[in-house]
């Protein structure tokens, strides 16, 4: 089937198998390896991207379901060689260990910053409940998200 998906501002038109998952379209067709594959069961959130501005687990959608849509991945956060404020906040707060969850954490953070003027620490914890960090570095991750809100301002 032919699909047309805009990823980080670039439209890709490709013939794909109907069963191809969106995460594999992103990684293997678009060649954007920043989106990770973890559980492939919709639990871990390593594959989180934004689809038409909303966070989705890209292992839970077929590429054909994203036809005509806009996808944002972690590669789209950097602008003109400059890291985004959420990327800077994650670095400065040591909010990664192995880094496997980090692209998904960054994309959910990107969404939260766009969606909410501010969030309490408890609210941040609740909003990222669909993203697991197997290294269990949640304190630093929540610190980084709080810091990203501060850097962004309101």
Interface with ligand FES (CB under 6 A) = 37-40, 42-47, 57, 59, 96-101, 133-135, 137
Nearer to ligand FES, 76 or 137 (CB): 137
Q: Which is nearer to ligand FES, 3 or 101 (CB)?
A: 101
Q: Between 18 and 99, whose beta carbon lies closer to ligand FES?
A: 99
Q: Which residue lies nearer to ligand FES by CB, 132 or 149?
A: 132
Q: If DSSP codes are grouped into helix, strand and coil, which group holds residue 138?
A: helix
Tell me how far, at minimum, the Cβ of 153 lies from ligand FES, in Å. Answer: 27
Contact status, residue 71 vs residue 12, Cβ threshold 8 Å: no
Provide the Cα torsion 12, 14, 16, 20; round to 10°. -10
Residue 79 is classified by DSSP as B
Angle in degrees, 0-180, between the axes of helices 102-115 and 138-152, rounded to the nearest 10:
40
Nearest-approach distance from CB 133 to ligand FES, in angstroms: 3
- Nearest approach, Cβ of 7 to ligand FES (angstroms)? 17
Q: How far is the CB of 18 from ligand FES (least distance, A)?
A: 19
CA distances from 133 to 2, 53, 130, 150 (A): 35, 23, 10, 23
């Amino acid at each position: 089937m032919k699909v047309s998906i805009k990823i980080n501002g670039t439209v890709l038109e490709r013939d794909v198998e109907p069963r191809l998952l969106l995460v594999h379209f992103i990684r293997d067709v678009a060649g954007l390896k920043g989106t990770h594959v973890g559980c492939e069961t919709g639990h871990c959130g390593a594959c989180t991207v934004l689809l038409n501005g909303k966070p989705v687990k890209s292992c839970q959608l077929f590429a054909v379901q994203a036809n005509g849509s806009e996808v944002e991945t972690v590669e789209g956060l950097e602008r003109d060689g400059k890291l985004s404020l959420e990327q800077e906040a994650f670095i400065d707060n040591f909010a990664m260990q192995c880094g496997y969850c980090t692209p998904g954490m960054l994309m959910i953070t990107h969404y939260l910053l766009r969606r909410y003027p501010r969030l309490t620490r408890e609210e941040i914890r609740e909003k990222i409940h669909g993203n697991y960090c197997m290294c269990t570095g949640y304190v630093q991750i929540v610190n980084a998200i709080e810091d990203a809100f501060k850097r962004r301002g309101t």
